[in-house]
Amino acid sequence: MRTSPNDICHTGQGRSALTGRAGRCHNDRVEDGPRDRGAGLTSFRRYTWWAVPGTTVLLLVLTYGAWILDGDVPPWARAPSAPALVVEAAATVVLLGDRLTARPDPPARPRRGWLLAAGCAALVLAALPLARHNYGLWAIAPAVTVAIGATYLPVPARRLLVAGATSGALVPGTAVSLAAGDGEPVYAALFPAGLVVFTVWMMLGPLWAWDVAGRLDRARRLEAELAVKDERLRFAGDLHDIQGHHLQVIALKAELASRLTGSDPERASAEMQEVRQLCADALRDTRAVVQGYRRTTLDDEIVNATRVLAAAGIDARTDQAPGAEELPATARHLLGLVMREATTNVLRHSNAQHAEVDYRVTDGTARLRIGNDGAEESTASSDGTGLTTLAERLRAVDGELTWDRDGDRFTVTAALPLQRDERQKGGPGRGRR
């Protein structure tokens, strides 16, 4: 069975494990953590970087570089153009790099020094080719600078900037062409204006896609956090419903017994007996709620694990052979705990992109194996009921829990004999606190 990354887990336990890795979503800048790598955001960021800053710098270098190296261009035009090209390329990398690492809501602010440097370099790279009547080259650097500024603006201001720059691009070439009388005023007017529109369009498209991906990723993290809060509210509501009723009745009967102590001791004693019974009932109901909240089974945890891992951007595959129904309740609970702990370790202590879950019954032994391809230096959880504690609990029922690391692969394997039945469920129970 393969679960796609679009599947979002709907259980509180899975959400808790998921939010353990996703707690950095409130920073002003997007961090590239293990979860981003698992979700493919790093690859998308790398592609966007090459598609926007990389392509833009390549365009500037190829177009202006060829003009600077042209022997027909006089030295007075080439000398200032070379450093201006370097400044424009550097400013492009810095400003667009900042834009890719900043959150779009609210829009980030560009570095004013670099933006001013880009504007000055663009003026130099526009004026010198225009003085040589190169109507197809002069507008490239200004168009890039306008597009960079537009990426930092909200949509209404962005539209005004692009409209103003497009209109303004009609004037310089037209004026120079008319003054020179070279008969190219239409080309000198329309080509630079179209170049501004095209450059802005090609630059904003990939950045818009990156912003959408970032918003979707943050929405997925927020959904996980809300699910944890919903689960806490549900559990608090269950406790309130049970304890509220019992405590109210206990308080009333205790007050009645205190009033009857002097006038009717026998009835007061009977009321206190009922209070005692109500306390026992409240304790039993509370334990039932907590046990129902904490109890886990293998089937539920396998389903939950695939959903949680998929929600974290990890390609989760399961191979579950028939036979889970043959396990007694205690064995299903123990293997479910192993499944939960292994899933938590994958989420918190790995850079995994793929995970495999294999469960089958062979030769009277239930075997569960969970592996991933992103092991870090410290993989086993050291707090709570970690792998070491679970290994002790499995040994108490003649089972075995092992884990090993081979390069970046980490595998947890649990084996539990089927002959251990419900008569022995006291064994693992001793490990619980």
DSSP letters, 85-110, are HHHHHHHHHHHHHHHHHB-SSSPPPP
The pLDDT value recorded for residue 145 is 92
Binned at pLDDT 50, 70 and 90, residue 223 comes out as confident
CB 15 within 8 A of CB 227: yes
Domain chopping of the chain, boundaries: 32-221, 298-429
Radius of gyration for the chain, computed over Cα atoms and rounded to the nearest angstrom:
34
Q: How confident is the model at residue 419 (pLDDT cuts 50, 70, 90)?
A: low
- pLDDT number for residue 85: 94
CA dihedral in degrees (211, 213, 218, 224; nearest 10)? 170
- Beta bridge partner(s), residue 404: 411
- C-beta atoms surrounding 31 within 10 Å: 10
Q: At what angle do helices 329-349 and 387-395 cross, to 10 degrees?
A: 160
Structure tokens at 401: 């829990």
> Which structure tokens are listed for 211?
């912003």
Is residue 261 within 8 A of residue 289, CB to CB? The reply is no
Chain length of the chain: 433
CB 88 within 8 A of CB 144: yes
**How many other CB atoms are there within 10 angstroms of residue 298's CB atom?**
25
Residue 236 token pair: 């608090």
Task: Give the span between the Cα atoms of 315 and 313, in whole angstroms.
Answer: 7
pLDDT tens profile 183-197: 889 999 999 999 999
**Of 394, 322, 405, 316, which is closest to residue 359 (Cα–Cα)?**
322
Collect all residues with Cβ–Cβ distance below 8 Å to 39 and sequence separation of at least 6.
5, 217, 312, 313
Q: What is the mean pLDDT of the chain?
A: 77
Residue recorded with tokens 């938590």: 344
The topology under which CATH files domain 298-429 is: Heat Shock Protein 90 (3.30.565)
Site of tokens 């369009």: 201
What integer pLDDT is reported at residue 295 of this predicted model? 59
**How many helices (DSSP H) and strands (DSSP E) are in the chain?**
14, 6
Task: Enumerate the β-bridge partners of residue 362.
Answer: 365
Question: How would DSSP label each residue in 273-340?
Answer: HHHHHHHHHHHHHHHHHHHHHH---HHHHHHHHHHHHHHTT-EEEEEE-S-GGGS-HHHHHHHHHHHH
Q: What is the pLDDT of residues 239-289, one digit of tens each?
A: 776 677 678 778 877 888 888 888 888 888 888 888 888 888 888 877 776
The pTM of the full predicted model, rounded to 2 decimals, is: 0.50
Q: Above 80 in pLDDT, residue 232? A: no
Start-to-end CA span in the chain (Å): 35
Q: Are 353 and 328 in contact (CB under 8 A)?
A: no
> 402 near 342, Cβ under 8 Å?
no
